[in-house]
Amino acid sequence: MRCTGATNHRVDRTHCTKKYNPPAGHVAENRSNRTCNVFEETIINTLKKKLAIALFMFVLLDARAELVASDAKYAENTIQTSNQRLFLSSDGGFYELTRDSAGWHKNMLPAIFRDGVARPCYYLGIAETAGTVYTVCTENFSNPFAKKYLMGLNIYQPAPQLIEAGQLTGMSSINGLDADGSGNLYAADPGLPLLSGKIIKITMAGSHTIATQNVFHRFIASKPNGIRYAGGKMYISTNPTTYIGTSELMRYDLGANGLYNARTIFKSLWFLDDFMLVQGGAVVTEFLGGRLTHINESGSVLHRASFSQPTSITLLSASTYGSGSVLVTRRDAGEVHRLASNWGLLKR
């Protein structure tokens, strides 16, 4: 910062005040330069302190990141169930992740369709309700008109298998999936290219039978991605229809017939993928920015960490997996990593 220059950046000399008695022989102009330099040094020191704080915030969760799984094409989502089991969705397989004294293991689960015909699946969002984990099988994610199936597995079976609960209709693709406190499922459909997306509400008639599926909420000029329910609120990450511009983490009140009282919690220019809710806030994955961002409920950034192409993050609570650590899926490498968290994250 200088004491002279453009008007918008000029510092008023009346603020460069510090009593100074120049040595004999110094001209009067040196007094002005010296007092202003004192002001400059104060500003520089302040900026250094702020930079140090910023660098402290932007730290890796832990330098000892542990590889949990690899060869999971386009690794998408993970979930830790209420009985401490871990599952992973990806293009080509839905897996259970386990850990023992020998390390981590990835086991692909069989998928059973009503017509008895095996088919390729790109598995995306994952949700749990009433002892069942649900996910969506999309036969071809790049084709918005490809068939989609809701699949469910019993989390209490020693050797679980995915069983078709029915075909999903009127959806171009499915990213996020979650359940409310009443057992209803909500699916985030980003919509066709360059068009806005919607939220689909799915009600069940038993664990493996769809009762109804209807449009619950339509977006204007945005596409939903991740979706999470907590305490009567629905949190949704949205991205612009052109994929260029501002992405937002939104919070809504969940009503019987739709979402209302929309509020923007957080904004990003780096494309928001999935996220997780924690006590007092959330951790979002900024996919194009290559980072994880911990925010409070007001949207203030608490911590950040670098991570290439993150698509989802899950907080672990079982001691077997490392309580308080997180699982992060990495799409480009088809991997899942466990990172020890020093962010004080607690499950909401």
Q: 58-62, 82-86, 117-121, 240-244 — which is least confidently predicted?
A: 58-62
Q: Does the pLDDT at position 254 exceed 70?
A: yes
For 250-262, what is the mean pLDDT?
A: 97
- Confidence category of residue 341, pLDDT binned at 50, 70, 90: confident
pLDDT the model gives residue 65: 86
pLDDT the model gives residue 60: 47
pLDDT the model gives residue 4: 38
pLDDT the model gives residue 64: 60
Summarised one tens digit per residue, pLDDT across range 165-216 is: 999 999 998 999 999 989 999 999 999 999 999 999 999 999 999 999 999 9
Taking the CA atoms of 155, 161, 162 and 166 in sequence, report the sign of the dihedral they define. Answer: negative
pLDDT the model gives residue 269: 97
Summarised one tens digit per residue, pLDDT across range 270-283 is: 999 999 999 999 99
pLDDT the model gives residue 262: 98
Q: Does the pLDDT at position 21 exceed 60?
A: no
User: 66-339 has which fold?
Assistant: Neuraminidase (2.120.10)
DSSP state letters, 105-164: EEEEPPEE-TT------EEEEEEEETTEEEEEEES-TT-TTS-EEEEEEETT-SS--EEE
Summarised one tens digit per residue, pLDDT across range 54-98 is: 434 444 454 468 999 999 999 999 999 999 999 999 999 999 999
Euclidean distance between the first and the last CA atom of the chain, given in angstroms as a whole number: 45
pLDDT the model gives residue 9: 38
Domain boundaries, the chain: 29-57, 66-339
DSSP 58: B
Tell me if residue 44 falls in helix, strand or coil.
helix
Token duo for residue 138: 């999309």
Name the average pLDDT for the chain.
86
Percent of the chain at pLDDT > 70 equals 82
Summarised one tens digit per residue, pLDDT across range 287-323 is: 999 999 999 999 999 999 999 999 999 999 988 898 8
Closest CA to 219 of 188, 196, 241: 196
Q: Does the pLDDT at position 30 exceed 70?
A: no
- Confidence category of residue 22, pLDDT binned at 50, 70, 90: very low
CA dist 60 and 326 (Å) reads: 12
pLDDT the model gives residue 105: 98
Q: Which amino acid is at 348?
A: R
For 315-337, what is the mean pLDDT?
A: 95
